């Protein structure tokens, strides 16, 4: 009776959430913890979005919505693809989800049979492989280095492809390295995977948060790819739990079916709040925040390098610095815990 499923034994804890729990305990004890552990902006949600959320509650928008999201929001997201990438995406192809986590669950449920794998770069967002494990598929981790721009390359993909590989998961800008896959590389990668007969899933959660370049959407070069995105990062809506996915036309009906069964619908309040996310006054606040992130990156990377941390590539996007601490420790997990307990600086092991 006390034995749980095999999958639960395989799934590891999400270390940053453990660390965050302890960091918040130290906060509560009155310590002034420097928070650099979690993947969320320290800013509260921008005022126009917050106000739209308040109005939604006051107007009684508190019941279920269609499973794929309210039509107005799907429309706005589709327009965002036209405005930002010059892409003509039909609103039906956009499904609003319970965070990008909800999108990951649905996309891998749709694409991965038991025993199949999705190839992904290591380092990467640690939960990706756990969604695959959940549905009895597996993450196929390919170690990448600064020489590969910390990304899967056509060569790596061909070299590691197996008969049971169902596709790849790319992240651009990447968590935690901040590296961006630029358009020519995206096209080559996409073409390589297509030729191998695999699905292309691209995590575009950090779009909007780039410094000195734009990250292309995979949809610019590959109409049948699956895109994962979120209102959490650029739009600063972490706690609202809202994301979206763009899927090929012929996947829409099956994705809606999954959304109906697994989620009923995404948060109604969050959806109505997000209607304000693309307004000019909101975007102007978000641009100011992006500049603040850039300044922090510049200060932090220089400071860490001066201290002896190795950062081979300047992060082009997201809000992470992936620093090599091997000069100081060969156990980054203990290193991070000691830093938290002794110096009240919260960072996450790599």
Closer CB to a copy of itself, 2 or 32, in the complex: 2
Minimum distance between the CB of residue 98 and a copy of itself, rounded to whole angstroms? 6
Closer CB to a copy of itself, 240 or 244, in the complex: 240
Closer CB to a copy of itself, 101 or 329, in the complex: 101
What is the CA angle 259-199-139, rounded to 5? Answer: 80
Closer CB to a copy of itself, 197 or 303, in the complex: 197
Minimum distance between the CB of residue 304 and a copy of itself, rounded to whole angstroms? 25
219, 213 Cβ separation under 8 angstroms: no
Closer CB to a copy of itself, 180 or 189, in the complex: 189
347 phi/psi in degrees, rounded to 5? -130, 165
Integer-rounded Cα radius of gyration of the chain: 20
Minimum distance between the CB of residue 131 and a copy of itself, rounded to whole angstroms? 7
The total number of residues written for the chain in this structure: 350
- Residue 349, SS3? coil
Minimum distance between the CB of residue 326 and a copy of itself, rounded to whole angstroms? 27
Comparing C-alpha atoms, which of 142, 113, 139 is closest to residue 128? 139
Closer CB to a copy of itself, 15 or 344, in the complex: 15
Contacts of 218 (CB under 8 A, 6+ apart): 170, 186, 190, 200, 202, 204, 225, 227
Contacts of 127 (CB under 8 A, 6+ apart): 14, 101, 104
Q: Among all chains, which residue has been given the structure tokens 């921008």? A: 46
Minimum distance between the CB of residue 239 and a copy of itself, rounded to whole angstroms? 3
User: In b/e form, how buried is each residue of 155-194, taking b as 16+ CB within 10 angstroms?
Assistant: ebbeebbeeebbbbbbbbbbbbbbbbbbeebbbbbbebbe
Minimum distance between the CB of residue 152 and a copy of itself, rounded to whole angstroms? 19
Minimum distance between the CB of residue 53 and a copy of itself, rounded to whole angstroms? 5
Minimum distance between the CB of residue 306 and a copy of itself, rounded to whole angstroms? 31
Paired tokens of 9: 């034994």
Closer CB to a copy of itself, 32 or 250, in the complex: 250
Paired tokens of 123: 């380092």
240: exposed, middle or buried (Cβ count in 10 Å: 0-12, 13-18, 19+): buried
Closer CB to a copy of itself, 78 or 98, in the complex: 98
């Amino acid at each position: 009776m006390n034995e749980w499923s095999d999958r639960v034994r395989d799934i590891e804890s999400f270390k940053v959430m453990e660390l965050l729990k302890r960091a918040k305990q130290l906060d509560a004890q009155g310590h002034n913890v420097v928070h650099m552990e979690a993947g969320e902006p320290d800013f509260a949600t921008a005022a126009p979005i917050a106000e739209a959320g308040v109005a939604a509650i006051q107007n009684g928008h508190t019941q279920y919505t269609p499973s794929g999201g309210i039509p107005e929001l799907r429309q706005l997201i589709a327009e965002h693809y036209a405005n930002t990438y010059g892409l003509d995406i039909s609103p039906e192809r956009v499904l609003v989800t319970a965070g990008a986590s909800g999108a990951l669950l649905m996309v891998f449920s749709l694409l991965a049979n038991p025993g199949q794998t999705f190839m992904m770069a290591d380092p990467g967002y640690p939960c990706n492989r756990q969604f695959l494990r959940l549905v009895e598929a597996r993450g196929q981790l390919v170690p990448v280095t600064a020489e590969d721009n910390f990304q899967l390359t056509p060569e790596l993909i061909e070299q590691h492809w197996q008969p049971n590989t169902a596709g790849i998961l790319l992240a651009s800008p990447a968590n935690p390295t901040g590296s961006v896959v630029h358009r020519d590389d995206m096209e080559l990668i996409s073409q390589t995977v297509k030729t191998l007969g695999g699905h292309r899933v691209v995590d575009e959660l950090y779009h909007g948060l780039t410094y000195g370049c734009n990250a292309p959407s995979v949809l610019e070069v590959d109409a049948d790819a699956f895109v994962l995105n979120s209102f959490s990062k650029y739009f600063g809506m972490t706690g609202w739990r809202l994301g979206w996915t763009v899927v090929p036309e012929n996947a829409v009906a099956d994705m809606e079916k999954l959304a109906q069964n697994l989620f009923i619908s995404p948060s109604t309040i969050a959806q109505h709040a997000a209607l304000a996310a693309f307004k000019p006054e909101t975007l102007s606040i978000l641009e100011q925040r992006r500049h603040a992130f850039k300044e922090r990156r510049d200060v932090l990377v220089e400071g860490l390098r001066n201290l002896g941390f190795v950062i081979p590539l300047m992060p082009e996007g997201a809000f992470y610095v992936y620093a090599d601490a091997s000069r100081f420790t060969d156990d980054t997990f203990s290193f991070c815990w000691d830093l938290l307990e002794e110096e009240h600086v919260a960072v996450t092991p790599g």
